[in-house]
Amino acid sequence: MFSFLKKNSSETATAPTAEKSGTSWIVRLKSGLARTGNQLSDLFSRGGMIDDELYDELETILITSDVGMDATNALLADLRRHVREHKLSEASELKAALAHCLLKLLKPLAIPLQADTHQPFVIMMVGVNGAGKTTSIGKLAKHFQSQGLSVLLAAGDTFRAAAREQLITWGERNNVTVIAQQSGDAAAVIFDAIQSAQARKIDVVIADTAGRLATQTHLMEEIKKVKRVISKVMPETANSPAAPHEVLLVLDANTGQNALSQVKAFDQALGVTGLVLTKLDGTAKGGVIAAIAKAHPIPVRFIGVGEGLDDLRPFVAEEFIAALLDQPA
């Protein structure tokens, strides 16, 4: 038997509460990236000339910040080229130069998610256990509501009762309908949710799925089945691609370079269309975004810096770099 959490008002999203200021967001992002930011600030404020020793120290900071070898080498090569072309010589000038090179690397990932192109717009959330999928779903629901879109949630994590209850709690906080089942097949829950959204003319369906490791072959096969079922309930038409319209992979920023292997494995299995990078408030690094940009450039749709409803925001490369390098956004 499916259980429904009914909204107390109409299906149209209610007016959002006031969001925290942009300044507060930058402060929290800067705090999350503090260790890397402080190391870079110390390096560039030390004075002196740009030399090989300075580049070596910068290389160490980047690698230990989860940027990875490939992205670090590419960044340093671009930085050296920029320094030569602009005839820079002072260490203090390297900060703005690094910001320029980082922006070239990260800007292509900053593609906002447009969820108003189909109705319903179906988002499938995937990732490993503990990455923050269910929490991110609650925050995404709030984000889409703030855009005037109605939202329905599908509790497709049928392995963990706690995940279902957590999603229902998020639904209550957002005044959003949640479709769940006490046990059973994830594909069936999501299938029912999409049909319900179609009947009620809901704008966005966000489907939770059980966390799984990319090495768990049987579970990866199962999630492929879930995607196939979604495409059957909303097949391709002349005016719309088959659902899901977005496959969002949720990554915990604290996993560092392991996030790269997750991106590659889930993309190979499902065709990931966007990334959500969570827990930047709990990491001292965050450089994995640069690693992803170099090795597997998939749009970073959102980044998160806290537990509040407004603490998941669209990824803006300029803001991220400003927070990392302690510059005005």
Examine the pLDDT at 311 and tell me if it is beyond 80: yes
User: Angle, to 10 degrees, between the axis of helix 52-64 and the axis of helix 34-44?
Assistant: 180
- Mind listing the pLDDT tens digit for each residue in 174-200? 899 999 987 678 999 999 999 999 999
Q: How confident is the model at residue 22 (pLDDT cuts 50, 70, 90)?
A: low
User: How do strand 312-314 and strand 300-304 relate by DSSP bridges?
Assistant: antiparallel
Strand partners, 300: 275
Mean of pLDDT over the chain = 88
Do the strands 151-154 and 177-181 form a parallel or antiparallel pair, or are they unpaired?
parallel
pTM as predicted: 0.90
| Residue 284: per-residue pLDDT | 57
**Please, what are the domains in the chain?**
2-13+114-316 (3.40.50.300), 22-109 (1.20.120.140)
pLDDT band for position 281 (cuts 50, 70, 90): confident
DSSP per residue, 124-192: EEE--TTS-HHHHHHHHHHHHHHTT--EEEE----S-HHHHHHHHHHHHHHT-EEEEESSS-HHHHHHH
Q: Give the span between the Cα atoms of 323 and 93, in whole angstroms.
A: 18
The DSSP element (H or E) to which 252 belongs, if any, is: strand 246-252
- Of the listed ranges 37-41, 70-74, 84-88, the least confidently predicted one is 37-41
Burial environment of residue 133 by CB neighbours within 10 A (0 to 12, 13 to 18, 19 or more) = buried
Work out the number of other CB atoms within 10 angstroms of the CB of residue 268. 11
* CA nearest neighbour of 170 among 151, 195, 146, 191: 151
Q: Count the alpha carbons within 13 Å of 135 in the hemisphere toward its beta carbon.
A: 22
Evaluated on CA atoms 310, 314, 318, 322, the torsion sign reads positive
Helix (H, G, I), strand (E, B) or coil at 274: strand
Calculate the alpha carbon distances from 247 to 81, 244, 277 in Å. Answer: 37, 7, 14
Inter-residue contact 266 to 127 (CB < 8 Å): yes
**Residue whose C-alpha is closest to residue 187's, from 127, 109, 243, 249:** 243
Rounded mean pLDDT of 46-72? 93
Q: At 213, phi and psi to the nearest 5?
A: -85, 145
**The amino acid at 200:** R
281 CB-side CA count, 13 A: 13
Amino acid at 267: D
| 140: its two tokens | 């995404």
Strand-pair category, 246-252 with 151-154: unpaired
Lowest mean pLDDT among 28-42, 46-60, 63-77, 260-274: 28-42
How far is Cα 172 from Cα 8, in angstroms, rounded to an integer? Answer: 9
Band (pLDDT 50/70/90 cuts) for residue 213 is confident
* Whole-number pLDDT of residue 283: 64
Nearest to 292 by CA among 262, 323, 316: 262
**pLDDT category of residue 205 using cuts at 50, 70 and 90:** very high
Residue where the block lists tokens 């179906």: 122
Instruction: Quickly count: other Cβ atoms within 10 Å of residue 46's Cβ.
Output: 11
